[in-house]
Amino acid sequence: MSKLSKVSFLFSGISLVCLILARLAYGGWHHVFWVPLLFFLVLFFLPLVKDGRFLVDFFRMKTTKRGLSMGTMILLVAAILVFANLIAARKSKTWDFSAAQSNTLSPQSVQLVKSLTGPLKAVFFYRQGVEGNEENRRAFRELMKKYQDQSDQVSLDFIEVNERPDLAADYGVNKGSGVAFLEYQGRRNRVEKIDEQEVTGALVKVTREKDKVIYFVVGQGEMDLEETREGNGLNALKMLLSNNRYQVKTLAVSSSPKVPDDADVVAVVGPQQNLMEQGVAALEDYLKRGGGLLIALESKKTAGLERLLGTAGIVPQNNYILNVVETGMGRGVQQGATMATVFSPESAITKVFRGQEFALFRLPMALKKDKQPVNVTLDEIVKVPESSMAFNDMKITSEGPTGAFTLGISAAGTWPGVPVSDSSPQFRLVVYGDADFLSNSLLYQNLNRDLALNTFAALSKEENMVTIIPKDPATTKMVLTDAKFSLFLWAFVVPLPLLLLATSLGLWMRRRFA
């Protein structure tokens, strides 16, 4: 090929590159672009005309054909790799081989994210140079990737506070180590902690179109919702429910002939006096209408609710349940908080709890299932260990009966006396033999917070709000006995380097004297 043809091919390629870059930069076609296009066509076809015979002979050569075949194979493999990567990027699939499935979302999270009907926007604000920034960004990206794997509706955006102060002010961002928000259909919620519990909780809040309403019964000496200093107040519970987008209100049921229609849940927590008959009738009418009722009682103070509970098949035992522990001095009764370690695997409230976890109660009483009413399902959701004891009073002078006493029972179905049909209202009732586990002093102890939130979620018919228990990574212990260590030492540690050294020397000698 002549020198002129080579130069012509070179400048034709330069013209084509200039045309493509100009087209991309401009974003459309302009009449000026005809110039580089014309240069490309002229400079490309000029060598074909001038040295056409040479090019024909060149492409007929055996080496040229082999080179073209090899080039075609390389291009084909490259195209397959690009295509496979595009499919993998758009349709990614992950497998979790960890023993505790710690890298997999819980079924609650999967069900919730798959039910999205619109785009969910996750926004992470950070400030460049702040300590812990990169770790928080990476952790949030990895966590949200699990949600994105389940739905194409989830998007993720990272915003530097100094670059977009307007957005930071709009979202109310006041720290630079990293804060995240979820936004869905105009509703926004802040994620305080980067873990599945908090993200799924925030997801529930932004997807809920209407806040649920919880009425706390007052007027019989119940625990105070506004009390913040005393350990037996309920202000911590009130704040917890408010942060989970529940509206918390009070209701003087003894003076009200009817529970309001907007009540999603009614709670009776720690009453000290008996409810008046009209108050009990109002609660029973609420259950007949398909309401959700929580009753948390203290031993010896059943507030005149025995008839209502008996109708549902639940009988308070009016005793005290304490744990029995083994000490260095022998077997003894633990007179502090009572631990409940047995949870129903069937109940939506407790099925997420694991066997090694426990909830704490203060001097609870046992509950017992009576004759189960027709069309009512009873479930003993919380129990103490088998070794626990029951006492009729706090004078612990002798041993009482032992057993796995029940501290919490749930009931659901059609209230006895209501005609049964496909359209019959379905009530939900949860009864605990203690109210202190909801108090300021015990609410955030062990599983108490989760038990409380799960109870209100189940009663308000929002099982997707049931708290997700963090997954602890399972550890695999490797015990190396003396015999196994000797085998490992003489079978691998010593011979392997010697084998590699001998192989290297053999190869060197062979090449040296070849």
Which pLDDT value is given to residue 325?
Answer: 83
Tell me the C-alpha to C-alpha distance, in Å, between residue 20 and each of 24, 40, 157: 6, 11, 31
Confidence band for 352, pLDDT divided at 50, 70 and 90: confident
Q: pLDDT tens digit string along 279-290?
A: 999 999 999 999
Strand ranges in 384-464 using DSSP code E only, listed in sequence order:
389-391, 406-413, 427-432
What CA–CA distance (Å, rounded) separates 124 from 190? 10
Question: How many Å apart are CA 358 and CA 379, to the nearest integer?
Answer: 18
Residue 331, H or E segment: strand 330-334
Rounded to whole angstroms, how far apart are CA atoms 96 and 105? 10
State pLDDT tens for residues 54-95: 777 777 788 877 888 888 899 999 999 998 888 877 766 666
403-454, pLDDT tens digit by residue?
999 999 999 999 999 999 888 999 999 999 999 999 999 999 989 988 998 9
**How many C-beta atoms surround the C-beta of residue 336 within 10 A?**
10
pLDDT the model gives residue 129 = 79
Rounded to an integer, the average pLDDT of 459-481 is: 65
| Cα–Cα dist 36/15, whole Å | 5
pLDDT at 467 (0 to 100): 57
What residue spans define the domains of the chain?
3-90, 107-206, 212-318+363-380+403-465, 482-512
Predicted structure pTM score: 0.66
Assigned fold of 107-206? Glutaredoxin (3.40.30)
Checking phi first, is residue 313 left (phi over 0); if not, alpha (psi -120 to 50) or beta? left
Average pLDDT score over residue span 117-144: 88
**Is the CB of residue 239 less than 8 Å from the CB of residue 285?**
no
Amino acid in position 359? A
Residue 268's pLDDT is: 97
Per-residue pLDDT tens digits for 250-261: 999 888 889 999
Q: Which has the higher per-residue pLDDT, 476 or 191?
A: 191
Q: At 388, is the pLDDT very low, low, confident or very high (cuts 50, 70, 90)?
A: very high
Identical fold for domains 107-206 and 212-318+363-380+403-465, yes or no, is no
Q: Is 212-318+363-380+403-465 CATH 3.30.200?
A: no
Q: What is the arithmetic mean of pLDDT over 286-298?
A: 96
Instruction: Return mean pLDDT, the chain.
Output: 86
DSSP classification of residue 411: E
- Position with higher pLDDT, 108 vs 39: 39
Task: In whole angstroms, give the CA distance from residue 231 to residue 11.
Answer: 85
SS3 187: strand
**Sequence-ordered list of residues with C-beta below 8 angstroms from that of 414, at least 6 positions apart, any chain:** 375, 376, 420, 424, 425, 426, 427
Q: What is the pLDDT of residues 329-344, one digit of tens each?
A: 667 788 789 999 999 9
Report the candidate in 105, 452, 36 with the shortest Cα–Cα distance to residue 248. 452
- What is the pLDDT, as a whole number, of residue 179? 85
Q: What is the mean pLDDT of residues 468-489?
A: 68
What the block records as the tokens of 380 is: 């003993």
